[in-house]
Structure 1
């Protein structure tokens, strides 16, 4: 590879892990990828833009989203949202016009992506240990909160669910592309261990569900390939492994607290704020009330929505009207990508997003690509509980959609 091509590969790798370290690294990663694309201008083929490509579905989504600015009640915010969604336009342009990445180039990008997530976790872990040591020096006891969710991710100011999405895809690469990655056994199992522990400590409930589903897919994939005499042993090993993972997780007080809180049981961990628990508002019990507020608004304008950038405004008005104080104070979005799309651009925008998901699932089934299927599963299920159309989610969806679908036949 020449230097310009190397720069392109490393630019793509930097864009892949993007926002996990900060908003700045996400922007820098995308800018590096654009700069490397421009440096390779002699090898660009713009004629490819004249042929149908599944990446155009991302562009279609962006164009529909752009049209929403013309009837938005908040044009200023709409302009900001459009700028944030530019990866849906930029990444397809880059991936369609460059020479497709070769196998060794793709593997290098994937390896950098995987190792970046391990480095991220290790930095967070070291920081948590240092904080705990400081707490001991002040006469405190062991505080699990230093090692869990927002406290654990405080150094990078990250959200547990979005970080879990990146980590889940990394685990998908490790499980389903193990032979291609050519990692030593020690490095492979160490990385799996680190990133599984990371998911547990990130504390995303949807992340737990997706980890179980990906492991289940991996289990059945391998079970079918085993000889009948080895299947019983394989089932036992897998069952024991999952049981150990569950027992370890459930014996971490903060993980147990989150699990029990999810099913409505207020677990009294010694570092809980008892006054907060005692005076919880009804909204704190779950997202159903939040979704009901969004659904009521959608019924009033289902076809076009309220325009690009207007979603937060109409939701805040609804929260105020319904006296949902917690939602209003925290300025919550709908915490559901499908509802957010309906609020923003109506049924048309939602259909364009569903088309993106449909293409991913169809391609993964047709190619028997389990990593791609995992990616589609991660986006589809996480969209139920989170609005993915913030910086981290937009970059994750747009980059890997292009990365997977431009893969050449090898």
Structure 2
């Protein structure tokens, strides 16, 4: 509660005192803040507020009557990406699947256009991240309650209506027997850990640059790293290592650099103690000597998925297989290659760049990658570059743009990264 009291006074709702603001713009930002707060709770809960934000955003455009695009025209690559996905429906058989993906991807069409005409300042952007932070805190508490309940409810490894205390375990023993509920996907019942991990990393980077009160900032960092530890996302840990190394090399103050190196080593030792991370290499071993893939580990299955995706890309490199057929073609390829585990799990590419290549070929892939290249050049000396790294590397390890929560977050974050606010803030 003290954390919330210290944060909330710094997050006043926008009002109409600023003559440059109008009601539509105020409602747009407020709906966006509420949606960011709810983002960690699943897909359906924040969706109505994102829809309202789109409505008010276009209302702001119509009210301002300023239809000239003076800067950041490259932002239109995101709507163009949506259009290319729509065109691919012309050569896909599974129209229903393709249409559903397009419906989830409408954020790529709407939000970039809205942000071209919407004014922002440091307060508005900070409010977005603070609401996302508070949402992460509440979702953490909810997940903690669920994990604790499931842990206590275990008897001999099986969920039961009776508690494990009644079954003979002590209170502490019940957590020991149900410890798996406090790690990885079992701890994140509201939303897939990969998406929550991206939110955590982005918030972490933002508040490295935009400092809170000192004690509060320490508490926030401890909370975010603890949440990340329990989610046990291997890709998130890899991204965190890359960010840490980048910050160390860019630190201008020698004393600060030594402190960061010490924190990095300590953090690396702590994160490597995570059981899901410590077994990562051992679970990869033996792939080259396997004569069947019925019992492949999740790590091995990911490599097999990438291999199957690349084989398919070579057969249709220009336009791909369409947004409706890409997953079906990949699953059939698993069957042809006897990747039994992958076939049973019905995996997608687990890499958005490969997924896009399968859906729309080199055309869609090029349109997806251009904004990243442009922003990398523009932001290379700004802290926004670290957020860009998080977005880019997370796309390499998951098909993040297959679900609404990933699509809307990427559409908004990439749009914000084009704003002058990020260009004018140095890393350290």
Q: TM-score range by the shorter chain?
A: 0.7 to 0.9
Is 1:261 the counterpart of 2:300? The answer is no
Q: 1:104 aligns with which of 123, 135, 154?
A: 123
Aligned-pair CA distance for 1:160? 1.3
- Give distance in 1, aligned partners of 2:261 and 2:117: 47
Secondary structure, counterpart of 2:349 in structure 1: coil
Q: 1:146 aligns with which of 165, 181, 188?
A: 181
TM-score scaled by length of structure 1 = 0.85
- What residue is the counterpart of 2:53 in the other structure? 33
**Distance in 2 between the 1:250 and 1:42 partners?**
52
Q: CA deviation at 1:216?
A: 2.4
Aligned-partner SS, 1:146: helix
Q: What corresponds to 2:372 in structure 1?
A: 357
What is the alpha-carbon distance in structure 2 between the residues aligned to residue 51 and residue 173 of structure 1? 24
Match of 1:378 in 2: 390
- Cα displacement (A) at 1:26: 3.3
Q: Paired residue for 2:344, among 324, 329, 332? A: 329
Of residues 52, 58, 63 in structure 1, which corresponds to 2:83? 63
**What are the ranges of 5 or more consecutive residues in structure 1 without an aligned counterpart?**
267-278
Structure with more relative contact order (C-alpha pairs < 8 Å, separation 6 or more) = 1
Partner of 1:114: 133
Alignment of 1:54-203 (within 5 A): 54-98=74-118, 100-135=119-154, 136-137=164-165, 138=167, 139=169, 140-142=174-176, 143-154=178-189, 156=190, 158-178=191-211, 183-203=212-232
Moved more, 382-391 or 5-14: 5-14
Return the match for 1:238 from 245, 260, 263.
260
Q: CA deviation at 1:396?
A: 1.6
Structure 2 portions without partners, runs of 5+: 1-14, 17-22, 155-163, 286-292
**Cα separation, partners in 2 of 1:250 and 1:385, compared to 1, 3 Å:** closer
Q: Is residue 73–residue 310 contact of structure 1 (8 Å, CA) maintained in 2?
A: yes
Q: Tell me the distance in 2 between the aligned counterparts of 1:405 and 1:7.
A: 22
What SS is found at the alignment partner of 2:409?
A: helix
Residues 283, 317 of structure 1: alpha-carbon distance in 2 compared, 3 angstrom cutoff = farther
Question: SS at 2:320's partner residue?
Answer: coil
- Partner Cα distance (1:258, 1:67) in 2: 41
- In the superposition, relative to structure 1, how do residues 50 and 187 fare at CA in structure 2: closer, same or farther (>3 Å)? closer
TM-aligned CA distance change 1:330 to 1:407, over 3 Å: same
CA distance in 1, matches of 2:358, 2:111: 25
Cα drift, residue 17 of structure 1: 5.2
- 1:27 positional shift: 1.3
| Counterpart-to-counterpart distance in 2, 1:407 and 1:28 | 29
Residue among 381, 395, 401 paired with 2:414: 401
**1:147-206 Cα shifts (integer Å, max 9, x gaps):** 11111012x1x211121111100001011222xxxx221211111110011111111111
- After superposition, the Cα gap between the structure-2 partners of 1:117 and 1:407, relative to the gap in structure 1 and judged at 3 Å, is farther
What is residue 271 of structure 2 aligned with on the other side? 249
Task: Quote the RMSD (CA, aligned, Å).
Answer: 2.4
Contact persistence 2:284–2:297 (CA under 8 A)? no
**Residue correspondences, number:** 378
Distance in 1 (CA, whole Å) between partners of 2:38 and 2:95 is 28
Contact 1:303 1:348 in 2 (8 A): yes
Select the residue among 16, 21, 26 that pairs with 1:6.
Answer: 26
- CA shift for structure 1 position 114: 2.2
Shift of the 47–356 alpha-carbon distance from structure 1 to 2, 3 Å rule, reads same
Matching residue of 2:325:
310
Give the equivalent residue in structure 1 for 2:19.
none
CA distance in 2 between counterparts of 1:54 and 1:15 reads 26
Work out whether residues 307 and 345 of structure 1, in 8 Å CA contact, stay in contact via their aligned partners in 2.
yes
1:23 positional shift: 1.1
Q: Which residue of 1 aligns with 2:160?
A: none
Secondary structure at 1:208 match in 2: helix
1:271 aligns with: none
Provide, for residues 280-317 of structure 1, a one-character-per-residue CA deviation record: whole Å limited to 9, x for no partner. 62364512221111111111111111112111110121
1:47 aligns with 2:80: no
Equivalent residues of 2:248, 2:261 under 8 A apart = no
Runs of 4+ in 1 over 6 A off after TM superposition: none
Q: Aligned residue for 2:157?
A: none
Partner of 2:245: 216
- Measured in 1, the distance between the counterparts of 2:303 and 2:272 equals 26
